[in-house]
Amino acid sequence: MKFVSYWHDTAPVFSGGAQGPVEGHYDAAIIGAGFTGLAAARQLAKAGAKVAVLEAERVGWGASGRNGGHLNNGLAHSYLSAKAELGKERAIALYRALDDSVDTIEALVAEEGIDCNFRRAGKLKLASKPQHFEAIARNFEALHAEVDPDTELLSAADLKSEIGSPFHGAMLSKKSAMMHMGRYVAGLATAAARHGAVIHENAAVTDRKQAGNRHELTTPRGRISADNVLVATGAYTTPNFSYFRRRIISVGSFIIATRPLSDAEIAATMPGNRTCVTSMNIGNYFRLSPDRRLIFGGRARFSATSDQRSDARSGQILQAGLAGIFPQLAKVEIDYCWGGLVDMTKDRFPRAGYHDGVWYAMGYSGHGAQLSTHLGMILADAMLGREDRNPLKGLEWPSIPGYSGKPWFLPMVGLYYKALDRIQ
């Protein structure tokens, strides 16, 4: 078994990074080369702006190269709970932003010719218990009527042609998609560089100074100045960006990938070939890879770390979870096991905007594979003085009391959700 992201292992390595020292003055400096930062850099460079990306590790090293590969057009919340918390208008605007995000990626992939297996697969939200199906059906009724007619409620009998496991029904979101995340992030970086963005890897920003509109960013390989700065560091935000660190809770999420499955195994488990998410609080998400592996993820343990030891322990829990859902695959070989950090906010709504001289977009709470590209482009447009289309504008973002960046409360949260899963 390889302890490396399947997406990293099966994608070309980005080779368009800048060589030499980090220096010069730019219209915009982007911190972080995941989807958010690279999409913003491409948009800025396409418009003729002089832009530099500073990445602590490598292009796509963070969550963008480690995720489940689902491009779902839904929020972390059900539509009904988003509506209760945000009001109908904002909940609809946010839902539509997720819809638009999938369209944005489809258009970008076509425009740049990125070979990343983008496919409108549709997503199944699977009811793990009969009472979960009742909640899914209530949400479906409101969502279908008010926002997304491209949804369908499937009974347990309807699911027989979709999935080889006895779920109690599901909601199908037809607009949802999937793609190869490693190929996309490498393609996005290549496109940004082709349009003129200067991308420095191994260039962690260790200090930021600001005088008026001019920012100075220091890295171990040199220093640049810029008129605009976008912080696109997600769950990997370093302590020197303390405003964000006090608001982002970095939570481990873990994934295993099986060996490629045979036709018979796919027919017995995932004949619908969609992205799938279960309804448990500590649930699972899974899909097939382009080379027919089952990519099976979940929170597994409420851990704030992802390293080989932590990933391996979570991998064992995931393997048991996989066998629970698909007993047919209980003994299948696992070829990959990896993990990454998810950028959660306390209320699980993302945040994007401008604070204290810098732009930011983060807190996607596990639903950022699509929204990050979209928000990166929207913030780039705002920097360019174009129409401000930020769907999150004005959403307050208080810090979390007693939290400075180390999520000491995660084990308690894990126990709470485990208990909820037993009784609900």
Ligand X SMILES: Cc1cc2nc3c(=O)[nH]c(=O)nc-3n(C[C@H](O)[C@H](O)[C@H](O)COP(=O)(O)OP(=O)(O)OC[C@H]3O[C@@H](n4cnc5c(N)ncnc54)[C@H](O)[C@@H]3O)c2cc1C
* Residue 224 is a binding residue for ligand X (CB under 6 A): no
- Which member of 342, 358, 382, 410 binds ligand X (CB under 6 A)? 342
Whether the Cβ atoms of residue 255 and residue 287 lie closer than 8 Å to each other: no
When the beta carbons of 128 and 306 are compared against ligand X, the nearer one is 306
Sign of CA dihedral 104, 108, 111, 115: negative
* Residue 395 is a binding residue for ligand X (CB under 6 A): no
- Which member of 304, 372, 392, 397 binds ligand X (CB under 6 A)? 372
Among all residues, whose Cβ is closest to ligand X?
Answer: 368
* Residue 101 is a binding residue for ligand X (CB under 6 A): no
- Which member of 44, 49, 56, 380 binds ligand X (CB under 6 A)? 56
* Residue 255 is a binding residue for ligand X (CB under 6 A): yes
Q: Minimum distance between the CB of residue 252 and ligand X, rounded to whole angstroms? A: 8
Q: Write the CB contacts of 141 (distance below 8 Å, at least 6 apart in sequence).
A: none
Q: Minimum distance between the CB of residue 217 and ligand X, rounded to whole angstroms? A: 8
Best CA proximity match to 410, nearest among 341, 360, 350: 341
* Residue 61 is a binding residue for ligand X (CB under 6 A): yes
* Residue 297 is a binding residue for ligand X (CB under 6 A): yes
When the beta carbons of 339 and 407 are compared against ligand X, the nearer one is 339
* Residue 55 is a binding residue for ligand X (CB under 6 A): yes
Q: Residue 3 class from Cβ within 10 Å (0-12 exposed, 13-18 middle, 19+ buried)? A: middle
Enter the tokens of residue 302: 């409420």
When the beta carbons of 6 and 285 are compared against ligand X, the nearer one is 285
SS3 content of the chain, % helix, strand, coil (to 5): 35, 25, 40
Q: Rounded to whole angstroms, how far apart are CA atoms 334 and 338?
A: 11
- Which member of 22, 30, 126, 235 binds ligand X (CB under 6 A)? 235
Q: How far is CA 245 from the centre of its chain?
A: 18
When the beta carbons of 36 and 128 are compared against ligand X, the nearer one is 36
Best CA proximity match to 165, nearest among 270, 84, 312: 270
* Residue 22 is a binding residue for ligand X (CB under 6 A): no
DSSP string over 202-226: S----EEEEETTEEEEEETTEEEEE
Best CA proximity match to 27, nearest among 5, 3, 45: 45
* Residue 32 is a binding residue for ligand X (CB under 6 A): yes
- Which member of 318, 370, 390, 392 binds ligand X (CB under 6 A)? 370
Q: Which residues are near ligand X by CB under 6 A?
A: 31-37, 54-57, 61-64, 66-70, 204-205, 232-238, 253, 255, 285, 297, 339-343, 362, 364, 366-370, 372
